[in-house]
Amino acid sequence: MPTGAIARTVVNGAPADTVDARDRGFTLGDGVFETMRVTDGRVVAWSQHMARLRSGCRALGFDAPTETTLASDARAALEAGDEGVLRLTVTRGIGPRGYAPPAHPDPTRVATFQPGLPEPPRTGLRLRWCQTLLASHPQLARWKHLNRLEQVIARSEWDDPAIAEGLMCSIDGRLIECSSSNIFWVRGGALITPDLRDCGVAGVMRGQVIETAQTLGWRVVVRDAAPDELADADEVFITSAVRRIAPVERLASQQWDAPGALTRRLQQAVDAQP
């Protein structure tokens, strides 16, 4: 992604770069967000992102702004031909001091567009293990809420630019996800990804990959997984809305061909979708 690119920000429908200091998103992390890929001025997988945003707001106990309103915010932040990343943040809005939510919240909406997309890797990605563990939060699992301190701490564990992502486990030792992406691997012809019942983020691209693989007739397994299962994987890749499907080449002493045959076919099938 280009350095020095200037972001465009819209707050509650108008150009701005600040929010009220009393906003609960700022003081308590009380809100949700979506990070979306933009190509040729179009938001990729808009409907899926909006569905997850609505579900996230519902899980936190307040109504999301209408999709029409959020689409208007997105249009205000974008220009024709844009290539980059759009982030939509929705908080519960301004509230009094303390944890108790306001009886009638007035959500704050922030749309920020950052020009530029990551360069596709010339080879497979290199991953590492994180020491930071993910706590069990069944009520918050799967949604992209604003409380991302576990991911912030995990990402601070390395500064080697050759390492693209860090794998994270739950407090009871299950493999869950990477710090900002989901993990998949192929073993014996089956596509496997961890169950996210009590922690982790159910990425939009994760859902699209699962649906696409099932449409292709592949066996998809969503289950608990131990970290050492990756040692027996035939192929490994990670997914995110911005990176899409990114093959993994190395994890510690483990090495894989990247992309593998099934990963390449999935990339082609997903890229062919509107």
Per-residue pLDDT of 46-63, as tens digits, reads 999 999 999 999 999 999
- The CATH class, in words, for 8-115 is alpha beta
Q: What is the pLDDT of residue 123?
A: 85
Q: What is the pLDDT of residue 220?
A: 98
Token code pair at residue 17: 């770069």
Q: What is the pLDDT of residue 3?
A: 47
Q: What is the pLDDT of residue 7?
A: 87
With a cut of 50, which residues of the chain have pLDDT below it? 1-3
Q: What is the pLDDT of residue 274?
A: 74
- Residue 269: φ, ψ to 5°: -65, -40
Model confidence pLDDT, tens digit, residues 101-130: 999 999 999 999 999 998 887 789 999 999
> In the CATH scheme, what architecture does the domain 125-271 have?
Alpha-Beta Barrel (3.20)
- Domain ranges within the chain, ordered by starting residue: 8-115, 125-271
Query: Is 152 within 8 Å of 145 (Cβ atoms)?
Result: no
Q: How far apart are CA 146 and CA 19, in angstroms?
A: 15
Token code pair at residue 165: 């992502």
